[in-house]
Chains A and B, each alone.
Chain A
C-alpha cells in the first residue's frame, strides 16, 4: 500500500479541474515517486461526498494518509507549496539522505 492517500475535490470537467488534476499528478510523480494513491472526486457528480468532507471550494486537496488530515486549497501547480501545505515529506527520501547506521 502506498504511503500517501490523497483526495482531490474538483467541480465538473472544466479546464480548471483538468488543469488541477494534471498539475497534481505531475507534482506527485516528481516528489512522491509514485508512492501515493490519488482519488479524484467530482463534487458535482457526488455532492454528498463534498458535504461529508465539508468542501467549501475547489480545488481542495486532502491528505488522508498518513494521519492527521491536512488540507490545502487553491493553485496546485507549485510543488514546493503543496509539499509544505500538506506536510508531505516521504520517509523514503529522508532515509536516503541519512543512511541507517
Chain B
C-alpha cells in the first residue's frame, strides 16, 4: 500500500514535471512564434499576449493584459484588422480565431500575422491598375475625332469619372505658335466645375501665365505640379476661379513632342493632395492629350487645305471653261463680222443705187436690218470676253447711284409688265446713304446690275420680293440682289454665267448673266451666287473699293517729258489729229503718210518714240515696227489699230511693238501710252 502510495507519489511528481516541461515547451513555442498570439475571453478582455503580438501592437504586455480588445469575429477563415498604434506606421494584420479554454473558461485564441507589406503591394497593384484604367480612358477619349472643345471635355469627363479629380479645365495655346516662342497666355477651351465653369466667363476665358505661378511652373518645367487651391486664390485667379470649394489643384502641360500645345488643370474638393505618383500619371495624361490636340490641329489644317484646294479647283475649272468659251465666242464673232460686212455692205449699196420694186426693196431692207441685228448680237458676245482695257476711262463710280439707276431703268419689267398680269413684285431698297467709290466704267456697271435685276424678275413668275442691298466690306464694296423666286439647281448655279447658257428656254438669250460676269471680271471683282431650289437666289457682287491715292492720281495730269515723236498713218484726218493732240502736250511731232515714208523719216531724224497705224497699203505697221527696231532697238513703238482690243487681250502683239492702242484713241489715252513706254524705257536703262 505504502509502496503503491509512493509509486503514485512518484508518478505524480513525474507527471508534474512532465506537465511543467510540456507547459514550458508550449510557452516556449508561443513565445518564440513569429505570429502574434492573443487570448481573449468572452467579454473581449485580453488574457494573454505573446511578444510577437506586443510588437505588432507596439504596446507592452502590461498595457495590453486586461485591456478590452473586443469579441473577435471572423467570417470564413481569416479577416484583416488595422492595428491602431500610437507610434507612426500603419500595420495590417491577418487574424485567425479558434475557440479554446483559458483558466477553465471558454476563450478565444487569435493569431495575428503582419501582412502590411502584402497589403501595400496590393494597394500599389490596385493603384497601377486604376492608373492604367485612367490612361486607357483618356487615350480612348482623345482619339475621338471631334472638335477640340468636345474632345477636351470628354477627356475631362473621363478623368473626373475615374475619381482622380473633381473638376478641371483644359487650355490651349494659339495654334501655329512657333516652337520656342514664349507662351504668355492660353485660352480655356473646356471646363468642368468645381473651379471651372463652362462655357467660361469672360474673366476666365484666358489664362495669363504671369498671374498663375502654378501654370507658369508647369509650363516652365514641362511637368505636372500641384498646389493648394483655396489657400492662394488671389495669386492664381484664372486657374481657380476663386472657388473656396477647391482644396487642391494640379496643372500639367499638354505636350506634343517638344512643344507645349496647352495646359490641363485639375481640381479636388476634398483634402486629398496630389501625390508624386499622381503627378507622374498626369505627365502621361498630358502627353497623351497633347498629341491628340496636335493631331486634331493637323487634321483641321488638312481639312481646311482640302476645302480650299477643292474651291480653287472648282474656280479654276469654271474660269478655264469660261475662258475657252470666251475665246470661241470671240473667234466666232470675228468671223461672223467678216462674213457680215459684205452682206450689209452690198445690201446697202443695192438699196442706194438701184431702182427697185417696193417688194424687193422691202426685202433688201430686211436683209440690211437683220444683218445689223446680227452685228449687235455679235457685239454683245464680244462684250463677254473683252478683257480689262488699260485705257478704259476708269472713274470713281458711286454704286448707290448706279444701283438706283438700274432699279429705275428696269421699272417697266418689275412693275408695269407684272402688273398687267396681276402679279406684284415688291422692290426693297436696302442701299445705304453712301458707299465708298469704286473705280470703273459706270455704264458697264449699270448694265450689269440691270441684267441682274431682270434675271431676278424672270426668276419670280408668281411675283415676289426683290431686294437690292449694298455695304462696304474691306477691301470690297458689295452689292447684293436677292429674289424670292425659284432658285437654281446646282447645275444651273455652276453654269449660269456661261454665254449661251439659259434655263429660260426660248425666252432667254443666255447672255444676260455672262455679260455681268464679263463686266465684274473686268473690274477685278468677284461674283458669288447663293441659291437653293425653291428658296430664291442672291447674287453678291464684290468690287474693289477705290484707293484714295489712286483717286488723286486719276485727277492729276499725266506728266511726260516733251519728246520727239514720229507718227505714221495713211489717214490724213488721223495724222492731223495726232499732230494736234500730241503737240498740245508739248511734244515735237513729225508725221509720215505711209510705211515707206515713215521708215525714211525715221532714218533721217532723231526720235524718242514712234506711233504707227497697223493697216496701211504696201508697207504696214508691223513692217514699220520691225524697221524701227532694226535701226534702234531702244526706241519704243506704239501700234494704233482698229483691232486693238482683240490684239491686247489675246497677247498677240506683233514683234517690235511695245504697246497696242485701240482706235479711236483719245489724246489722254495717247499721253498715257507715251508715259508708259517712255517710263519703261528709262526704267530698263537704269
Contact = CB atoms under 8 A, between A and B. Distances in A.
B70 interface: yes
B84 A74 contact: no
B81 interface: yes
Interface string B495-519: 0000000000000000000000000
Nearest to B64: A56
A51 B76 CA distance: 30
Contact of B79 (A10, A14, A75): A75
29 contacts: A9-B84, A10-B82, A12-B82, A14-B82, A16-B80, A16-B82, A56-B59, A57-B93, A58-B84, A59-B82, A61-B70, A62-B70, A71-B44, A71-B68, A71-B69, A71-B71, A72-B44, A72-B72, A72-B73, A73-B81, A74-B70, A74-B72, A74-B74, A74-B95, A75-B73, A75-B79, A85-B71, A85-B73, A86-B71
B84 A55 contact: yes
Nearest to B69: A56
B492 interface: no
A52 to B, nearest CB: 12
Kindly list the 9 A-B residue pairs having the minimum CB-CB distance in the complex, ordered from nearest: A73-B70, A11-B82, A71-B70, A75-B79, A57-B81, A74-B73, A78-B75, A85-B71, A75-B75
B75 A81 contact: yes
Interface in B51-78: 57, 59, 64, 67-76
Contacts of A59: 81-82
Interface string A42-76: 01000000110011111111100000001111111
A56 to B, nearest CB: 5
A82 interface: yes
Given A70-B71, A81-B73, 11 more contacts: A50-B84, A54-B67, A56-B69, A57-B81, A57-B83, A58-B82, A61-B70, A70-B44, A71-B69, A72-B72, A73-B70
Contact of A73 (B57, B73, B76, B86): B73
Interface of B: 44, 57, 59, 64, 67-76, 79-84, 86, 90, 93, 95, 97
Question: Which applies to chain A's interface (DSSP): helix, strand, loop or mixed?
Answer: mixed
Interface in A64-101: 70-78, 81-82, 85-86
Interface of A: 9-12, 14, 16, 43, 50-51, 54-62, 70-78, 81-82, 85-86
Contacts of A70: 44, 71
Contacts of A85: 71, 73
Given A43-B84, A73-B44, A60 B70 contact: yes
Contacts of B97: 74
Given A72-B72, A73-B44, A82-B73, A58 B67 contact: no
A73 B75 contact: no
A77 B93 CA distance: 18
Contacts of A71: 44, 68-71
Nearest to A85: B71
A5 B97 CA distance: 27
Given A54-B67, A82-B73, A74 B44 contact: no
A24 to B, nearest CB: 11
Contacts of B84: 9, 11, 43, 50, 55-58
Contacts of B90: 11
Contact of B71 (A57, A73, A78): A73
Contact of B81 (A62, A74, A82): A74
